[in-house]
Amino acid sequence: MQEVAAEVVTQRSDGESWEVNLQLEQVSLTGWLTQVQSDGLLRWRPGVLNMNDGLLLWLEHLVYCALGGTGSSRMFGRQQSRWCFLAVPQAEAIAALNEYVTGYLAGMRQPLMLLNKSGGAWLTASYDKKSQQLLTDEATQLKARNRLLTAWSGNYQLEGEGSDPYLQRLCRVLDEPQLQQITEAAQRWYLPVLAAHQDDE
């Protein structure tokens, strides 16, 4: 935790809470965005950051930008894991929030196969940081699929995501339709997060 604290202390400054009252296409988004600094959002967690952490920060960042924020959003975790997003134009942020609300409402009707470990493993193996493209060639996709299956099944050191009782009820056998649902959900909801991430910050 000391490494996280050392990173955070150099970037932390006084913050304030912003009231959120956004009228989106399908919902009114209300609440508070806490600890907003003059240079943006600063978050941290005492663990290794994963794709869900990136998504949570991205959603907060979109709200921040939709409210007129122009700074960056950063999150720090253990083992030098981090997420960082630069400001996006207000209209873009609102459009992206509308898209995520659509996904949330769809997920309330039927569970989305948005899996942090399995979908995240597939996406990370498929995404080329230099070109900022999703690679669809056969060799890359074979490697990415193997990463997904390992994350789902686990190994002698790590328990697989597929051992989660909730996911077992949703998906007893991981067959082709389920694999496609996992990769499509990762591409739709996690890819914008990965594409916006500033790795060199």
In angstroms, the Cα distances linking 192 to 50, 134, 177, 183 are 15, 11, 23, 14
Assess whether 85 and 125 both reside in one domain.
no
Question: Is the Cβ–Cβ distance between 22 and 66 less than 8 Å?
Answer: yes
Residues 101 and 130 in one domain: no
Verify that 185 and 123 share a domain, yes or no: yes
- Distance of alpha carbon 106 from alpha carbon 45, whole angstroms: 29
**Is residue 191 located within the same domain as residue 96?**
no
Q: Give the end of a domain, one of 110, 133, 162.
A: 110
In a domain, 200, yes or no: no
Residues 126, 79, single domain; the answer is no
Q: Which of 94, 110, 126 is the last residue of a domain?
A: 110
- My answer on whether 7 and 103 are in the same domain is yes
Q: What is the pLDDT of residue 200?
A: 64
The whole domain housing 103 covers 2-110
167, part of any domain: yes
Q: Are residues 157 and 104 in the same domain?
A: no
Cα 63 to Cα 40: distance, rounded to the nearest angstrom: 12
Helix (H, G, I), strand (E, B) or coil at 35: strand
Query: Which of 52, 78, 92, 75 lies closest to 201, judged by CA?
Result: 75
Looking at the fold, whether 72 and 129 belong to one and the same domain comes out as: no
Long-range contacts of 166-173 (CB under 8 A, 24+ apart): 167/115, 170/111, 170/113, 171/113
Q: Whole-prediction pTM value?
A: 0.93
Q: Is residue 96 part of a domain?
A: yes
* 76 and 143 both lie in a single domain: no
pLDDT per residue as tens digits for the range 126-151: 999 889 899 999 999 999 999 999 99
Domain finish residue from 79, 110, 141: 110
Residues 20, 91 within the same domain: yes
* Residue 201 maps to a domain: no
Low-confidence ranges of the chain (pLDDT < 50): 201
Count how many domains the chain has. Answer: 2
Give per-residue pLDDT as tens, 92-108. Answer: 999 999 999 999 999 99
Is there a domain that residue 180 lies in? yes
Task: Answer whether residue 182 is part of any domain.
Answer: yes
Residue 72 sits in the same domain as residue 125: no
Rounded to 5°, the CA angle 30-96-171 comes to 95
What pLDDT, on a 0 to 100 scale, did the predictor assign at position 201?
A: 47
Residues 49 and 128 both lie in one domain = no
